[in-house]
């Protein structure tokens, strides 16, 4: 995919996530630069619903802007930098503060995949607690690259990591997969919360997760979902 195509896809991803309230004034989504895997593309510090092509800045894996454009960046761009540096297989990252997910970051109840469309989150979801390495006097924001590296270490080979009292970050092999994970993760969390009131939930098994796998982003089903999301968000369908 050409860089120009990924710009349109990234703008669409911002607006999709905003429409489905995965992000609000805060939160962000990025994509690895298809022309240079040592770089990634991320909007300047702007609410996702308002992001357009002119807002997109190129960053290095240290989290610093390669083409600053004189625009302020997201403070937590180091989340993206840390994950891209640790995971060559990840081509898109989303960071969100979705309310339905946060309770699972502050209790001993694990977040499990119970919804078939959330199979991408895997069998278990680790929790990163900033206190463990950086003490109890931070503002809970990933504001330097060392924090980004530590977060990525806790993510490990998973697709999602919860951030204690903060939200979640997820990575996908494409913008489609990262957006899909981010859209369905809060729904999965809400369904699990409801199920816990009734008794012991039955999570997806490893076999079921493996069978469903990550949907091919070029498949008709993936294109249908992307077109639907773009339509709901009121944006022209970006190439997928």
Asked whether residue 210 is domain-assigned, the answer is yes
Q: 7-50, pLDDT tens digit by residue?
A: 999 999 999 999 999 999 999 999 999 999 999 999 999 999 99
Q: 74-127, pLDDT tens digit by residue?
A: 999 999 999 999 999 999 999 999 999 999 999 999 999 999 999 999 998 999
Asked whether residue 240 is domain-assigned, the answer is no
Asked whether residue 238 is domain-assigned, the answer is no
CATH of the domain at 55: 3.40.225.10
Asked whether residue 216 is domain-assigned, the answer is yes
Asked whether residue 95 is domain-assigned, the answer is yes
Asked whether residue 81 is domain-assigned, the answer is yes
Q: Hey, which residues are catalytic here?
A: 76
- What's the domain count of the chain? 1
Q: pTM (2 decimals)?
A: 0.95
Asked whether residue 70 is domain-assigned, the answer is yes
Asked whether residue 239 is domain-assigned, the answer is no
Domain with 118 in it: 3-233
Give how far Cα 171 sits from Cα of 31, 109, 193, 202, 219, Å.
10, 22, 24, 25, 20
Q: Which two tokens stand for residue 173?
A: 């092999």
Q: Tell me, what's the pLDDT at 1?
A: 47
Q: What is the DSSP letter of 35?
A: T
- Residue 13 CA to residue 48 CA, distance in Å, equals 9
- Provide the 10 A C-beta neighbour count for residue 46: 16
């Amino acid at each position: 995919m050409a860089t120009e195509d990924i710009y349109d896809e990234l703008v669409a991803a911002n607006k999709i996530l905003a429409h489905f309230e995965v992000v609000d004034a805060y939160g962000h989504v990025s994509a690895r630069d298809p022309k240079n895997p040592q770089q990634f593309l991320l909007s300047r510090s702007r609410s996702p619903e308002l992001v357009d092509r002119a807002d997109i800045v190129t960053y290095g894996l240290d989290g610093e802007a390669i083409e600053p454009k004189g625009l302020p960046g997201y403070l937590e761009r180091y989340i993206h930098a840390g994950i891209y540096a640790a995971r060559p297989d990840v081509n898109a990252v989303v960071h969100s503060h979705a309310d339905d997910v946060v309770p699972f970051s502050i209790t001993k109840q694990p977040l499990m995949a119970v919804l078939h469309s959330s199979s991408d989150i895997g069998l278990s979801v680790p929790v990163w607690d900033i206190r463990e390495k950086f003490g109890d006097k931070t503002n809970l924001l990933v504001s330097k690259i060392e924090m980004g590296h530590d977060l990525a270490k806790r993510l490990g080979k998973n697709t999602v990591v919860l951030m204690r009292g903060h939200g979640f970050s997820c990575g996908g092999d494409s913008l489609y997969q990262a957006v899909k994970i981010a859209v369905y993760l809060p729904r999965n969390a809400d369904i699990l919360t409801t199920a816990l009131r009734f008794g012991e939930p039955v999570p997806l098994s490893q076999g079921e997760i493996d069978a469903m796998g990550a949907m091919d982003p070029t498949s008709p089903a993936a294109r249908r979902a992307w077109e639907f999301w773009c339509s709901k968000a009121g944006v022209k369908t970006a190439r997928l």
